[in-house]
Chains A and B, each alone.
Chain A
Amino acid sequence: MTPSMRQWLPPLFALAALIAPFTGWMPPYWITLFNYIGLSSLVALGLVLLTGVGGMTSFGQAAFVGFGAYTSAVLTLDYGISPWLTLPVSLLVTALGALLIGALTVRLSGHYLPLGTIAWGIALFYVFGNSSTLGAHDGLSGVPPLRVGTHAIIDPREYFVVVWIAVVLAIVATRNLLDSRIGRAIRALRRGAVAAESFGVNAPRAKLIVFVYSAVLAGLAGWLYAHFQRSVSPGAFGVNTGIEYLIMAVIGGAGRIYGAILGAASVTILKDQLQNILPWIIGSTGNYETIVFGAILVLVLETAPSGLWPLISGPPPPPKLTRAPDVPLPQRPKPAPGTPLLQVNAARKTFGGLVAVNDVSFEVAAGEILGLIGPNGAGKSTTFDLLTCVQPRTSGTIVFCGKPLSGERPQDVARLGISRTFQHVHLAPDMSVIENVALGAHLRGSAGTLRAFAHLERKEEAALLNNAKRQLERVGLGDQALSLAGSLSLGQLRLVEIARALCPDPILLLLDEPAAGLRVGEKKELARLLRELRGEGMSVLLVEHDMDFVMSLADRLVVLDFGQKIAQGAPKDVRSDPRVLEAYLGGVA
């Protein structure tokens, strides 16, 4: 599918939705079927975000449909409130419910999270079924229809328009959210949570945003369901229905927006048609459709493991870069060259009985390149983790810009102006290079989720992406901006990490083996860049094993061995230090 087709898809879709039922080409039965598909699409869309993008598998979405449906049913039946007024209330109740459940659930990891969703999915089903206010297992009936003026929207053709307008709005909002600063953070979480947090993303909060948003979409489906069906009973909100919604999202293509609609349509139509056709073929009244449905499901998952939508549309499109004029981002004031920037005093880290960093002290001045060298396993990367608060230190003090670090989280350290790369590359391989880099500028944007829905933050977003593009050009990878990160070589990925680390406009840059895997020509370019950064007043703490590279670049060296500092000083002095020769360089230097 070409980019221009993609652009026209939502408006065409919307137009088709408004006209289709009135053309007379659609039999009433199919109109009703499509109303149900629309309702399921909304729930599946939430799951696309939650499961496909956010990596959180939920079997309990049907319960949130129940929240929306019951809220509106009770308010319209018992209090006579207009359904239009109950819409915001339904969504709010669902959001609050999701916030509470999510706060308990999203911190679960691995298979505990899906199990958690099954648990509260079952529990809520029985809450609906046992509450007399909610009509217990019989549910509530006689729910009033939606009205425009005095006209009641009862005809499925008219309701079709309401449902599909809701679906189109949900698609636009979801697309906008994913294509934003918040969306980028959400997408990065599944494959690179450590890196995302190091650049200021509050991971639990981002997960909670996805969780609540997907629940609100389910709540919206519930509200529509209540006033379409005109009755509400717990059967529609159990775990079985929750599993079905998940199947829709997976079949359509978890992570793909239009996959939600394709999945909802495929599953709904398939189940319906099997019910019609099978008795005619097999000639009995058993529940064969469930068996055949299961077999078809397995076949589809075998042949299209990433869902049906990617078969039609191919891989997701890369982001567009020039959407708004470039506005420069505010710069961080840099301390005067030579003034003390970082003071590490007796920093210590133990893992059980093992002392990984043993009372190490050193300083970094503003505008200085300090090399941190030592054998493999000497504690260099652990020292980086202590500086960035990825791991808590056992004892000792670290002062940055005159401010002692104590109990900060990685995202707080990023805010203070410390930026890093990782020894083992932490990038999201299924995101484009430019988006991976732009994640580094997360803290330089301020637009939140609500503005992202309406794309009211385009200026800021353009500034963030343009900044990312500039940093990518600085490391010499400007032409790879739109490639998938997973398609680059390991050496190139290290440079992408440096570009990302430059995005927040840091004061101190921590580079963990930046030259590893680079060839001579590429190393020369990197050295030129690091000197340029130093010239701009940035300080660099450099872990690197290429001695020619470190010796010609660093102003001073600190040498670690078995977690202890064994030497420090000018490169030429360290190079001839007998302890360094013995532990690290191995006799001849």
Chain B
Amino acid sequence: MSEALLSVGDIHVSYGRVEAVHGVSLDVPKASIVTVIGANGAGKTTLLNAIMGVMKGKGSIRFDGKAVADISLEARVANGLCLVPERRELFASMPVEDNLLLGGFRRSRAERSQSLEDVYARFPRLQERRRQLAGTLSGGERQMLAMGRALMARPRLLMLDEPSLGLAPRIVRDVFHIITGLKDAGVSILLIEQNARAALQVASYAYVLELGKVTAAGSSAEITNNPRLVESYLGLGGASY
């Protein structure tokens, strides 16, 4: 594996007295996609929240060689980390463009207008809807806006929590297309995705999280061919339920 951009070491995260993530370590190399696979309640979202600084975790988090475990959420954003949360969490009563501009809050005016152009180039649909209130967008547009808003901060690591959630099949393909495009543009991506098979197709490396612990890790090909994981998480492409 090439040099790691993000390196998480033995991280523990608790809700009050209940520990949800028990000593997880993982690496995300530069300009690559890494995915975390696991059941509901395994601690995937909690792990991303701890890396982002939304929740407090115990353990080491190194980003681009710098320890970031003890710095604030805003400082992590300024360093180039960004999270697109599961529930999108848009500013529903603000227009699309204001949502985007807020995403670039920590950047200079020039950088911000450059980023806005880039985002509109990547998501032409958002430009069409720039004056519309975010709360009135359809599910697919919301996800695009959430990703676009994250990109406004010019992240070097983008963490995506369930980007295909609630999206129609056609839009899901668009979203995965965009994810690959971002990687090609040099952005590293840490991906949590219900459609694990699709995630493994774009990712180079995968971790399996079960009950708050990493129980398997390997290249996408190794994980895809693990029969136990196929049964619980991957299904057989075009599976029948």
Contacts and interface: CB of A to CB of B under 8 A. Distances in A.
A520 B170 contact: no
Given A377-B139, A585-B169, A518 B40 contact: yes
Contacts of A488: 41
Interface stretch (A113-121, A336-344, A545-553): A545-553
Contacts of A397: none
Contacts of A519: 37-40, 194, 196, 232-233
Interface of B: 15-16, 18, 37-42, 44-45, 86-87, 138-141, 162, 165-173, 194, 196, 231-235, 238-241
B24 to A, nearest CB: 16
A491 B39 CA distance: 9
Those 4 A-B pairs whose CB atoms lie nearest each other, nearest first = A377-B138, A586-B170, A491-B40, A376-B139
A490 interface: yes
Contacts of B240: 548, 552
A490 B48 CA distance: 14
A221 B238 CA distance: 68
A391 interface: no
A424 B172 CA distance: 19
27 contacts: A375-B171, A376-B141, A489-B45, A490-B40, A490-B86, A490-B162, A490-B165, A491-B41, A492-B40, A492-B41, A513-B166, A516-B165, A516-B194, A519-B39, A519-B232, A520-B232, A520-B235, A520-B239, A521-B231, A527-B241, A548-B235, A548-B238, A548-B240, A584-B168, A584-B170, A585-B169, A585-B170
B233 A521 contact: yes
Interface string A511-540: 001001111111110110000000000000
B169 A547 contact: yes
Contacts of A524: 241
A376 B15 CA distance: 34
A139 B30 CA distance: 79
Contacts of B235: 520, 523, 548
Contacts of B44: 489
A487 B18 CA distance: 10
A547 B168 CA distance: 9
A395 interface: no
Interface string A470-497: 0000000000000000011111100000
A492 B169 CA distance: 22
Contact of B165 (A487, A517, A522, A584): A517
A520 B38 CA distance: 10
A423 interface: yes
Contacts of A376: 138-141, 166-168, 171
Contacts of B141: 376-377
A374 interface: yes
Contacts of B171: 375-376
Contacts of B165: 490, 516-517
A561 B135 CA distance: 20
A334 B179 CA distance: 48
Contacts of B16: 315
A520 B233 contact: yes
Nearest to A424: B87
A585 B233 CA distance: 23
Contact of B167 (A526, A545, A553): A545
Contacts of A526: 241
Given A377-B141, A521-B231, 19 more contacts: A375-B170, A376-B141, A376-B166, A424-B87, A487-B18, A489-B41, A489-B45, A490-B86, A519-B196, A520-B233, A521-B39, A521-B232, A526-B241, A527-B241, A545-B169, A548-B240, A553-B241, A584-B170, A585-B170
